[in-house]
Structures are given as C-alpha cells and as structure tokens.
C-alpha cells in the first residue's frame, strides 16, 4: 500500500454539487469547513456510471497518486439526527464512467470502507447518499476521508 491521502475538513470547503442531492458544508464560527453533509433526494435509484455525485475535487498532485490504481477509501461519518441514509456510494471520478461501490451504514458514528477499481485521469472522489426509503431526503455527515492507493 502507498501512503494514505487524507481529505479532512479543508477538502470539504468547495465541493462540486450534484443535481440528485442536497449539499451542506458545516462551518465553524469563522467560516472554516468542518464536515460535509449530503442527502439524496426522494425517489432516486442507485447511482449509474454516468452520475458524478457530490464531488471532492483533488489537486493535481493528489489525483496523480490515485490515477490508474485501485484504492481503498475509508469514510468516517456521523448519522444525521433525522432522516439518516441507509447507505453510501463512493467512486473515483475521471474520464471513464464511474464505478460506484455501495456500502450500508449504521445509524451511529462509524467508518465504512470501499475498495474501488482503478480509474483513468482521476480528478475527484464522488459521494452519493443511498436510502431504502423514498418519501423524503435522507443523508449522512462525512467527517473525514482516507484514500489508500493499492500497489
């Protein structure tokens, strides 16, 4: 394994939004980003390869570390007090269609791990809240992301 790429609060400052999700960057009193909250809109199916999700854009240096190699992505999260998502989908975003990996999440703080296939010309990591309920928006709060390139 290569050295981990850690995406903490600073990486949540200006995510690229998704038309299928609500997005809120939680900030402290001084406006610094703390966490990223995403919630899938009602009646959305699982993400397709063409979807982008809410994206955390990577610097060229960070993108070079995860391009053309499989990675493990560990997402630390908090459930929302109401309308907690039942799952989370993650993908490497590049020039090819996205390979989304979906994992169930617990209704308590935790870490969920995703093994993602290699992607060409990676420029972001995509996130999509998943819900087995279709009546309202359901979401999750992302607190930290670790990306571990596989060798």
pTM for the full predicted model: 0.93
Largest alpha-carbon pair distance within the chain? 43
> Would you call 63 helix, strand, or coil by DSSP?
helix
Of the chain, the percentage scoring pLDDT greater than 90 comes to: 85
Nearest to 145 by CA among 85, 29, 55, 41: 55
What are the residues whose beta carbons fall under 8 Å from the beta carbon of 2, sequence distance 6 or more? 65, 69, 148, 149, 150, 151
Per-residue pLDDT at 121 exceeds 50: yes
């Amino acid at each position: 394994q290569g050295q981990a790429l850690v995406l903490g609060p600073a990486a949540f400052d200006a995510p690229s939004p998704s038309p299928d999700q609500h997005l809120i960057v939680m900030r402290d009193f001084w406006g610094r980003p703390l966490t990223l909250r995403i919630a899938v809109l009602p009646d959305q199916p699982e993400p397709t390869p063409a979807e982008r999700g809410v994206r955390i854009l990577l610097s060229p240096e960070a993108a070079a570390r995860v391009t053309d190699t499989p990675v493990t992505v560990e997402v630390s999260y908090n459930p929302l007090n109401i309308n907690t998502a039942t799952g989370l989908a993650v993908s490497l975003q590049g020039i090819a269609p996205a390979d989304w990996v979906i994992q169930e999440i617990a209704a308590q703080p935790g870490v969920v791990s995703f093994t993602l296939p290699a992607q060409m010309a990676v420029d972001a990591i995509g996130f999509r809240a998943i819900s087995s309920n279709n009546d309202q928006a359901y979401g999750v709060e992302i607190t930290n992301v670790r990306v571990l390139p596989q060798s």
